[in-house]
Structure 1
Amino acid sequence: MKKKNQVFLTSVLAGTLVLSSIAPAGFAHDALDGSSKGERMPFDHDALEMLGDPAEEGSKNLKFLHEAGSAQIQEMDGVQNNTADVYAHKGFAYLGTHTANGANGGVRIFDLKDPKNPQEIAQFAHDVPHTWQEKVIVKSVNTPNFKGDLAVVSLQQTSRNNANRPDSIGGALLYDVTDPYNPERIGFYELDRRITGTHELYLTTQGNQALMLLSNPYADYYTGGAERDFQIIDVSDPTNPEKLWEFDPRELAEVDENFNGYHWSSPDGKTRPVFNHSVITDNNGQYAYVSMWDLGTVIFDIRDPENAKYLGRTEFADDQKGAAHSAALARGGTVLIETREVASPHGAGYESAYGYTRIFDIKDKTNPVLLSEFTTDLTYDFSTPVNTFAKTVHDPKVQGNTLYLSYYSGGVISVDITNPSEPVEIGRYTPDQADVWGVFVDRNYVLASDMGQGLKVLLKNNDNRSNNNRLNN
């Protein structure tokens, strides 16, 4: 695999991870809670010293994308929460919420029958005290124990293992949303209270078996090995989730048995954080793509979910901060999109750039080959010299040959990846005060979750008439 500088670790299995014994520090923005020992709070996207000022100038009608509808999430008990990720299923949008104003904003369901006027119809998953619900995945499931639409929701504590909050716990909630107007809680996979919780998660099926995949950052560290960062859970019976398999990045090579932290002294001489931030699978649930920050996107064969197997991973140049944040697939699972959430400043020895997108050929999943790196005008814009995530890429989604990227203050950027070796920006949606966390492509429209403004429904200008006709039928 060609890289612009000498890369670290050609194969994890061919070498040894040398990990330090220092306690976690300088982790990703939203991976740790703030309890004792100087640990960082979950990243608060309302803190302008971290996010930077929202874009005060924007356009709702930029080339190829325009805003067809918008809706702020409703207040709950007089509290205005902010949004996190967005998902869609059968004409309904599902918005997770972040930590603003005390968290516990739950998941909000919007009816998109009229995309110009989305209607919030239900709230759920907000009943565990002192938690936030960032990620929600919804799929149709047909198992011997459940037939219908199943929603899985990530649950994170706002303060990990807090003695003053004994009823707070992290993990994953499971809901029957076959009737989206009346979501019903049917299961809860609880994690050890010493873990913040499940940060992101995914839901897939293999025949008549339903699987939930969890990203539990620093689980092994906090529990002394009792729990692991990456877990595969059988939710074929959603009322009784059952753990099938789990993995910790230290299993990839021999390490000091006294290791008690998640810092990797990598071959390039840098100390790099390694933890599980996010996970997706292909449409058939055969392969899992796990975003393990500076270890890269790690690929597993999960066709036998009780005996998953490591296949390969992406790698970084010496001067690149890793920060493998999220992933998406294209070309029938032969192309991998990897987004990297990198803030400013960057630290000595690293390139001066915010996080950008990398595209890999993964026909051979044991050896991902870098095809291209997609940057924007934001990538090298340091006009605001503060510690900020505002100009980094965040989440990717793909429809056909178009890649959609959420970009915080940059809004939503669409990219033509017909030739994945030469990605080309073809559209951008950047509203006033943009703070776009998530993006999702559903049928003929693109959904965006703006942390401060709620749900955005976007249409393509070049197909406006046909899109509106189809959406209203």
Structure 2
Amino acid sequence: MKKNLVLKTTLASALLFSSLSGAVFAHDALEEGVSKEIQFVFDASEVQVLPYSVSGSRNLKFLHQAASVQLNVVNGVQNNTADVYAHKGYAYIGTHTANGANGGVRVFDLKDPSNPVEVSVFANEIPNTWQEKVIVKSVNTPHFKGDLAVVSLQQTSRNNTNRPNSIGGVLLYDVSNPAEPKRLGFYKLDRRISGTYELYLTTQGNRAILLASNPYADYYTHGVEKDFQIIDVTDPTNPEKLWQFDPRMLPEIPADFNGYHWYAPDGKTRPVFNHSVITDNNGHYAYVSMWDLGTVIFDIRDPKNPVYLGRTDYRDNQKGAAHSAALARGGTILIETREVANPVGVGYEDAYGYTRIFDIKDKKNPVLLSEFTTELTFDIPPTSTGRNTFAKTVHDPKVLGNTLYLSYYSGGVLGVDITDPSNPVEIARYTSERANVWGVFVDRNYILASDMGQGLKVLLRNNSGNGNENNENKPIK
């Protein structure tokens, strides 16, 4: 029987997350002291004892919990969630490394938002991989018409000689019938590369274009393969690489760049790799999160010959860590989240990751408008023990109208009013006990959140602010 998790109205209990067993899962796998291969994940025994009934209000400002439902156990394994996406009334949830990985993508029917029903599992056939990100779009090309899903694959142990069938890349599926996904193709990466972390799917006329973020590809292959690639998936059974970004094309990156360590003009050695990418709704511009190189903007209207336009940059005392991006105001405002797990460092400010907002009307010259922080940002333990934690950093951004939604690990989901992007104001927060929110997605009148240990959360918006819970039981049309 489905059990609903009640909201905690204070953040204090959620911060218990920082003391959970497990290690930090850095999105900079090469950063000293933190490892990309492990995260604060819940093992099977922990999932069984997670609290599903706690005191407090179910309403917090204008976010109302409609449902909290755990992933189904598959082949005796309880998987943790990764990112979440929605398309045509269905939620698509990636899965993490916990309990052996290979949890695949889980599809939930959201006709009744108070009772999401898991209807299928797919993309779990490549051994020793995990499926972080899924994007679904309706496409119409000469080769395929329907709903196309692209799924990122990462190896649980890169280039392991004892796992010859493990390989990273992107799986492509027909999900026109979400209950019966059908595999179409596989874009395979060099086995030296961990895999594709985040990705995006867009269309340009009757052409379908995949944008893939393959962190450290440049570093691991000594420049043969690059971190950011554009792939033509017009025929999803035969993906074709069109172009890849070589940072050495930029004047500030020297020709002897090793694919990761950038000896920046500010005198610091900064990490550079591609973690994420999005496009605008028309597929004209790509926004590529290149960690300490910032968010790099390309004109991709000719995907074989993209044009570099500009990038965000940082203060000398600020870690870059450009992790993910979102757009607002018709693509004239850029939101950049920075995932900083280690809040201290010689020559840097003491702070966990926070959000920056830019005016990009002139894409060649992004202008910083504001920086959004929370009480978590500067809540730094006095000693090194416990500092390397993702519990207090921002993660992913999504925008609907003038509201920015942020996934914030132990902070849960935050709603931020960006009507005035130079003065962002927190207006809502959803934080369950022992929250560990990885992804957030906004669609119509609901917000989806993927909590790594607690599964899928469905939150409904009540813009009237009157606390009426009747909306929670209305079906999503």
Confirm whether residue 441 of structure 1 aligns to residue 442 of structure 2. yes
Confirm whether residue 44 of structure 1 aligns to residue 60 of structure 2. no
Q: What is the aligned partner in structure 1 of residue 420 from structure 2?
A: 419
Question: What amino acid does structure 2 have at the position aligned with 1:368?
Answer: P
- Calculate percent identity across the aligned residue pairs: 74
Q: 1:98 offset after TM fit, Å?
A: 1.0
Q: 1:70 offset after TM fit, Å?
A: 1.3
Q: What is the aligned partner in structure 2 of residue 471 from structure 1?
A: 475
Q: 1:377 offset after TM fit, Å?
A: 1.4
CA contact (8 A) 1:291 1:326 kept: yes
Q: 1:397 offset after TM fit, Å?
A: 0.1
How far, CA to CA, are the matches of 2:232 and 2:88 in structure 1? 24
CA contact (8 A) 1:138 1:149 kept: yes
Q: What is the aligned partner in structure 1 of residue 327 from structure 2?
A: 329
Confirm whether residue 29 of structure 1 aligns to residue 30 of structure 2. no
How far, CA to CA, are the matches of 1:366 and 1:262 in structure 2? 24
Q: 1:171 offset after TM fit, Å?
A: 0.4
Q: What is the aligned partner in structure 2 of residue 128 from structure 1?
A: 126
Confirm whether residue 70 of structure 1 aligns to residue 68 of structure 2. yes
Confirm whether residue 233 of structure 1 aligns to residue 228 of structure 2. no
Match of 2:304, SS? helix
Q: Residues 33 and 374 of structure 1: is their aligned pair in 2 closer, same or farther, counting only changes over 3 Å?
A: closer
Match of 2:326, SS? strand
Q: What is the aligned partner in structure 1 of residue 144 from structure 2?
A: 146
Question: What amino acid does structure 2 have at the position aligned with 1:439?
Answer: V
CA contact (8 A) 2:27 2:339 kept: no
Q: Which moved more, 1:372-381 or 1:140-149?
A: 372-381
Q: What is the aligned partner in structure 2 of residue 293 from structure 1?
A: 291
- Counterparts of residues 177-256 of structure 1 (less than 5 Å): 177-253=175-251
CA contact (8 A) 1:444 1:467 kept: no
Q: What is the aligned partner in structure 1 of residue 16 from structure 2?
A: none
Q: Which moved more, 1:221-230 or 1:429-438?
A: 221-230
Gaps of 5+ in 1: 1-26, 49-53
Q: What is the aligned partner in structure 1 of residue 396 from structure 2?
A: 395
How far, CA to CA, are the matches of 2:462 and 2:256 in structure 1? 58
Q: What is the aligned partner in structure 2 of residue 113 from structure 1?
A: 111
How far, CA to CA, are the matches of 2:453 and 2:178 in structure 1? 24
Q: What is the aligned partner in structure 2 of residue 311 from structure 1?
A: 309
How far, CA to CA, are the matches of 1:76 and 1:469 in structure 2? 29
Q: 1:30 offset after TM fit, Å?
A: 3.2
Q: What is the aligned partner in structure 1 of residue 15 from structure 2?
A: none
Q: Residues 71 and 28 of structure 1: is their aligned pair in 2 closer, same or farther, counting only changes over 3 Å?
A: closer
Q: Residues 297 and 254 of structure 1: is their aligned pair in 2 closer, same or farther, counting only changes over 3 Å?
A: closer
Q: 1:252 offset after TM fit, Å?
A: 1.5
Q: CA RMSD in A?
A: 2.4
Match of 1:354, SS? coil
Q: 1:342 offset after TM fit, Å?
A: 0.8
How far, CA to CA, are the matches of 1:368 and 1:186 in structure 2? 39
Listed one character per residue, the Cα deviations across residues 413-466 of structure 1 (whole Å, up to 9, x for unaligned) are 000001101111000000111000000001110000000001000012445568
Q: Residues 255 and 361 of structure 1: is their aligned pair in 2 closer, same or farther, counting only changes over 3 Å?
A: closer
Confirm whether residue 454 of structure 1 aligns to residue 455 of structure 2. yes
How far, CA to CA, are the matches of 2:38 and 2:451 in structure 1? 16
Q: 1:224 offset after TM fit, Å?
A: 2.2
How far, CA to CA, are the matches of 1:285 and 1:32 in structure 2? 30
How far, CA to CA, are the matches of 2:71 and 2:158 in structure 1? 27
How far, CA to CA, are the matches of 2:470 and 2:34 in structure 1? 52
Match of 1:458, SS? strand
Question: What amino acid does structure 1 have at the position aligned with 2:455?
Answer: G
CA contact (8 A) 2:25 2:35 kept: no
How far, CA to CA, are the matches of 1:257 and 1:59 in structure 2? 57
Gaps of 5+ in 2: 1-23, 44-49
Match of 1:403, SS? strand
Listed one character per residue, the Cα deviations across residues 8-32 of structure 1 (whole Å, up to 9, x for unaligned) are xxxxxxxxxxxxxxxxxxx981354
Match of 1:101, SS? helix
How far, CA to CA, are the matches of 2:41 and 2:382 in structure 1? 17
